């Protein structure tokens, strides 16, 4: 996607991470722990930081969870968002404890005096707020036009904020239905210049969640809509981050560092390719951050039909056939390798490329 096609928005700062305008699209996740369990929550956030998570959200169910934010913050490196429902005082406590951003649900925090108290604290602590509209909690209107109901709920909440002089707002409009989600964001994009947090909610287990999130989030990103995102799935938070990063890489908005190309396998494949590709991914993952200017393309192909061509197009590639692999580098045949040395050869070649990149930057 070309940069000039991206929707122009205002910028909202979440501590040191910018959301909107020309800022990189950030990837978020949400901890699966009891927030009041500080050690478990910090441990999970640090895992997510290593995976590439840019912003983390925690559930604030009670005052113990709100107070835990003050203990979590000094031990993590990325901005922390407090997820608030029903009890407005939890937002106040979370900001006192150093939350970098608050998420509010218009469906369950509605009293004007509660909104006023939250906005006063947000101005005092310089904390932005995400208005997180979910289809399950919006007031349903006559006719049951869900897109209309979602966008109207968002508009009314934004108007209440702006009436009180507050505009440090990020919007999300999530539903479990891909079409409804896409149309809600499209419609809202015509009505405001606020930055958007993208997501399809309640998507289920990893396979279905990956498909629905990739279609919903990916379609909007390709239209230039979206400034930060979370892939919601019933599973590990690390998978949310990895899928989110993969979506951004697939639409050309994030450099994955190392891009692994592998054939889909068929009856022509002359080795058990899938376990090898998984091993390569695990072994090369820690090196990805060294390739910042463009991704290093590594190809592992299992037969002689398309394999040599694909391998030659990669920076480093191995095309397999007749019990041996041919190593290609920058389109040139280098040597043959056997199955037992494939992992070590690829790793060594990637390390060589990494050293070359480091030397050129010195």
Joined together, the tokens standing for residue 274 give: 């899938």
Q: What is the pLDDT of residue 292?
A: 84
Give me the phi and psi of 341, to 5 degrees please: -105, 0
Of 70, 68, 99, 67, the C-alpha closest to 82 is 99
CA distances from 259 to 145, 243, 280, 281 (A): 42, 14, 11, 9
Q: What is the pLDDT of residue 1?
A: 43
Torsion of CA 118, 120, 124, 129, to 10 degrees: 40
Give me the residues of the chain with pLDDT under 50, please: 1-2
Residues 77/71, Cβ–Cβ less than 8 Å: no
Q: Per-residue pLDDT tens for 52-86?
A: 999 999 999 999 999 999 999 999 999 999 999 99
Q: Per-residue pLDDT tens for 106-123?
A: 989 999 999 999 999 999
- Structural domains in the chain plus CATH codes: 3-250 (3.20.20.20), 258-361 (3.30.413.10)
Find the DSSP H helices in the chain: 38-51, 63-72, 88-96, 112-125, 146-163, 178-189, 206-222, 237-250, 273-284, 307-313, 342-361
The residue behind tokens 């169910």 is: 61
Q: What is the pLDDT of residue 140?
A: 65
């Amino acid at each position: 996607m070309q940069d000039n096609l991206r929707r122009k928005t205002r910028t909202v700062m979440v501590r040191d991470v910018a959301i909107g305008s020309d800022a990189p699209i950030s990837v978020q996740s949400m901890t699966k722990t009891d927030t009041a369990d500080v050690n478990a929550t910090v441990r999970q956030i640090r895992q997510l930081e290593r995976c590439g998570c840019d912003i983390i959200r925690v559930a604030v169910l009670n005052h113990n969870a709100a107070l835990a934010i003050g203990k979590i913050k000094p031990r993590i490196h990325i901005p922390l968002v407090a997820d608030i429902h029903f009890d407005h005082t939890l937002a106040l406590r979370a900001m006192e404890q150093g939350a970098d951003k608050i998420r509010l649900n218009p469906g369950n925090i509605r009293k004007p005096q509660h909104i006023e108290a939250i906005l006063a604290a947000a101005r005092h602590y310089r904390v932005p707020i995400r208005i997180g509209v979910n289809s399950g909690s919006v007031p349903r209107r006559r006719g049951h036009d869900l897109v209309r109901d979602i966008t109207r709920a968002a508009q009314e909440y934004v108007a209440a904020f702006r009436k009180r002089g507050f505009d440090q707002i990020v919007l999300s409009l999530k539903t479990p239905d891909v079409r409804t989600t896409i149309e809600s964001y499209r419609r809202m994009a015509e009505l405001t210049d606020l930055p958007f947090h993208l997501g399809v909610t309640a998507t289920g287990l990893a396979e279905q969640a990956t498909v629905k999130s990739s279609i919903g989030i990916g379609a909007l990103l390709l239209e230039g809509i979206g400034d930060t995102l979370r892939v919601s799935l019933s599973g590990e938070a690390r998978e949310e981050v990895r899928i989110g990063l993969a979506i951004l890489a697939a639409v050309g908005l994030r450099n994955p560092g190392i891009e692994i190309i592998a054939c889909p396998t068929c009856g022509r494949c002359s080795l058990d390719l899938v376990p090898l590709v998984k091993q390569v991914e695990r072994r090369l993952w820690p090196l990805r951050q060294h390739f910042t200017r463009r991704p290093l393309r590594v190809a592992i192909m299992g037969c002689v039909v398309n394999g040599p061509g694909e391998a030659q197009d990669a920076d480093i590639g191995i095309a397999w056939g007749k019990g041996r692999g041919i190593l290609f580098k920058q389109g040139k045949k280098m040597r043959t390798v056997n199955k037992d040395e494939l992992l070590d050869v690829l790793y060594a070649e990637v390390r060589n490329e990494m050293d070359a990149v480091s030397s050129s930057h010195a």
